Amino acid sequence: MLELMLCSMLTVLPDYLYRSRVQGKTWGQEITFFTMWYELRWGITLCAMLTISLITVVFYFHPSTSNVTSFFRTVTILSESAGRVDKVYVDINQEVAAGDPIFRLDSSRQEAAAETARRQIEEVDAALLVAQSDLGGATGALEQAQAAYRQIEQDLNRRETLLAEGSSAVTQREVDTLRNQLDEAQGALDAAEANLRSLQTRIEVALPAQRATAKAALAQAETEIGKMTVYAGIDARIEQFDLRVGDIVNPILRPAGVLVPLDSGRNRFQAGFPQVAAQVIRPGSVAEIACVSQPFSIVPMVVVQVQDVIAAGQIRPSDQLLDIGAQGAPGTVTVFMEPLYPGTTDLIPPGSRCLANAYTNNHERLETEDLGIFHRIGLHVVDTVGVVHAAGLRLRALLMPFQLLVFTGH
């Protein structure tokens, strides 16, 4: 509309002034509603051509879009296991810091497992004390067996010497009996040594291993107890949270709520411009946005990044061949924008729907490059007609509340 009004001032109005002032034709006589299309045919034709050309230049070099928003990330509040809520520490819309507890599940089963592990540790410690006491007894038994063995061995050696010398004080039967007693003492000595080694192995290996296993079970139980309390991992605000004591929380079927990071979606906007603007929009380009959540305000922005791929062209491997004709919409060029001046978007909540204009700026080229006269004039015209688009954005920003409140009732 603005382009048509501007072009009509340069074409239709001069044609009408020429007809009325030079040719003497007046409105209502020679120029009527029915003859106007013939009398002002040159102005109307030039107006249509100039309007189409102006709209093309404006929308190509200064693209606009209504697909602008500030996406923000949410974090689901989930426990690592299912359970019944035992205590709730926060309320909905409450701000929490990283590490603050949110809710706790019933941990009676895990606490019982921890108590069992503690009792197992105490049982192993008691068994270790008993084994150390038994070790003293086994050492004494070994020494006793060694003394008995030596005594029998000495008696046997003495009587064998006497028997060899032909003494009548010793008989062969007595020597054989002492040999049997020596073998019996050797068996008792071996048994005492084996018992001592068994106790030493139990004290040094078996019981410490059992104690380590019990401690590992205790650590696992305590870890599970710690998992029963769900903490905030980031600074955020709690939304959609309505847990009560006794509710069942399941990490798959029923999350507890969501965390909205305090800095997510702030001061960064994503816009989807038509693909024809891919050759015009560059990082560093100046833009403007107008958001529904902050009406009557135009916020200057700067393009910080242009996504080098178009999302509509992505594919996922499947068992069907891709049909290009079934892709649907051609997709848009994703552009990331940030406010040109700090603090200008603080009042715009994340997720707001906005309008955006991006502007082509040839000032640097005009200052540094050696261009021809027509080229320079063309670049000046491109920069100048951006004012028309800027005026259109401001007009849309003024009408935006009325369109939403009056015509749609939202």
pLDDT value, residue 271: 93
Amino acid in position 223:
T
Q: Which of 52-61, 71-80, 352-361, 385-394 has the highest mean pLDDT?
A: 352-361
Q: What average pLDDT does the segment 166-185 reach?
A: 74
Q: What is the pLDDT of residues 88-147, one digit of tens each?
A: 999 888 899 998 999 999 988 889 989 999 999 999 888 888 888 877 887 887 788 788
Question: What's the chain's length in residues?
Answer: 410
Enter the tokens of residue 91: 């309320």
Nearest one of 377, 396, 398 to 388, comparing CA atoms: 396
Identity of the residue numbered 166: G
pLDDT of residue 339: 93
Six-digit token string for 45: 């034709």
Contact 321, 236 (CB under 8 A): no
Query: What is the per-residue pLDDT across 203-227, written as a single tens digit (0 to 9) for each?
Result: 888 888 888 998 999 999 888 888 8
Distance CA 392, CA 324 (A): 36
Distance CA 129, CA 358 (A): 82
Contact (Cβ atoms closer than 8 angstroms) between residue 341 and residue 300: yes
Helical pair 2-10 and 373-402, crossing angle rounded to 10 deg: 130
Question: In this predicted structure, what is the pLDDT of residue 325?
Answer: 73
User: Does residue 8 register a pLDDT over 90?
Assistant: no
Residue 213: both structure tokens together = 């296993």
pLDDT tens for residues 273-289? 998 888 889 898 999 99
Q: What's the confidence (pLDDT) of residue 2? A: 66
All structural domains of the chain: 1-57 (no CATH), 62-72+265-314+329-410 (2.40.30.170), 75-106+230-261 (2.40.50.100), 108-227 (1.20.58)
Region 185-190: what's the mean pLDDT? 81
What are the structure tokens assigned to 66, written together?
Answer: 């209504």
Selected residue with higher pLDDT from 15 and 268: 268
Would you give the DSSP letter of residue 94? -
| Helix/strand/coil (H/E/C) assignment for every residue in 172-221 | HHHHHHHHHHHHHHHHHHHHHHHHHHHHHHHHHHHHHHHHHHHHHHHHHH
Contact indicator for 269, 65 with CB cutoff of 8 Å: no
- As a whole number of angstroms, the distance between CA 74 and CA 138 comes to 67
The Cα–Cα gap between 308 and 335 comes to: 9
Contact 290/393 with Cβ under 8 angstroms?
yes
Q: What is the pTM of this model?
A: 0.69
Task: Give residues with Cβ within 8 angstroms of 312, minimum separation 6.
Answer: 327, 328, 329, 330, 331, 332
DSSP state string for 323-342: -GGG--S---EEEEEEESST
The greatest distance separating any two alpha carbons of the chain, rounded to the nearest whole angstrom, comes to: 177
Using the 8-state DSSP alphabet, how is residue 250 labeled?
B
Q: Is the pLDDT of residue 170 over 70?
A: no
Q: Which of 77-81, 120-124, 168-172, 397-401 has the least mean pLDDT?
A: 168-172
Check whether 394 has a pLDDT greater than 70: yes
